[in-house]
């Protein structure tokens, strides 16, 4: 799925990008709430915004919890909104397993914070019109989600 991640900003009327820090629970969710706010200001349909907000939040939290940090990029195009999440590893050993509802490697400390139900990735796929994941163990995880507007 290498080709699926190609970030094509041709025709993007707007581009947003936010860094996501590893283990920074005080700021976790900040990027997705900024994205939600901006899409509201642009007058995007509230049902679509809701789905983008849920999926972006889940992706952002995964970077905070499971990765060494990363970034989230949003392109607003005339016919769609694209959200890209890239992190700095460690990557996912078995992507198909990670996509399974209920699968989680979250520690008990993370579960006590209310995360680790193993529902984030399945929810992202369910909430988006197009969903791509590409991960290599020892390298990084990259997600692309698209919503038609």
Ligand X SMILES: Nc1ncnc2c1ncn2[C@@H]1O[C@H](COP(=O)(O)OP(=O)(O)OP(=O)(O)O)[C@@H](O)[C@H]1O
Binding site for Mg ion (CB under 5 A): 62, 120
Rule CB under 6 A: is residue 106 a binding residue for ligand X?
Answer: yes
Strand partners, 131: 145
Distance CA 32, CA 49 (A): 11
Span near ligand X by CB under 6 A; candidates 19-27, 44-52, 62-70, 73-81: 62-70
Rule CB under 6 A: is residue 118 a binding residue for ligand X?
Answer: yes
Q: Which residue has the tokens 């460690």?
A: 90
Taking CB under 6 A as the criterion, the residue among 31, 66, 127, 144 binding ligand X is 66
Q: What are the two backbone dihedrals, phi and then psi, of residue 126, each rounded to the nearest 5 degrees?
A: -70, -35
Rule CB under 6 A: is residue 119 a binding residue for ligand X?
Answer: yes
Contact letters for ligand X, residues 13-52 (x by CB under 6 A): ----------------------------------------
For residues 4 and 42, which CB has a smaller minimum distance to ligand X in the complex?
4
Rule CB under 6 A: is residue 84 a binding residue for ligand X?
Answer: no
Strand partners, 84: 73, 144
Q: Which does 54 bind (CB under 5 to 8 A by kind): Mg ion, ligand X, none?
A: none
Taking CB under 6 A as the criterion, the residue among 12, 53, 76, 121 binding ligand X is 121
């Amino acid at each position: 799925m290498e080709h699926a991640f190609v970030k094509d900003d041709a025709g993007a009327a707007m581009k947003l990008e936010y860094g996501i820090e590893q283990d920074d629970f005080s700021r976790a969710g900040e990027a997705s709430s900024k994205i939600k706010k901006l899409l509201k200001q642009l007058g995007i349909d509230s049902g679509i915004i809701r789905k983008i907000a849920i999926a972006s939040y889940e992706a952002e939290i995964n970077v905070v919890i499971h990765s060494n940090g990363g970034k989230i990029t949003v392109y607003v195009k005339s016919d769609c909104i694209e959200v890209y999440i890239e992190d700095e590893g460690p990557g996912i050993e078995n992507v198909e397993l990670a996509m399974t509802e209920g699968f989680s490697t979250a520690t008990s400390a993370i579960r006590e914070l209310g995360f680790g139900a193993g529902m984030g990735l399945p929810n992202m796929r369910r909430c988006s019109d197009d969903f791509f994941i590409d991960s290599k163990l020892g390298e990084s995880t990259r997600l692309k989600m698209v919503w038609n507007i």
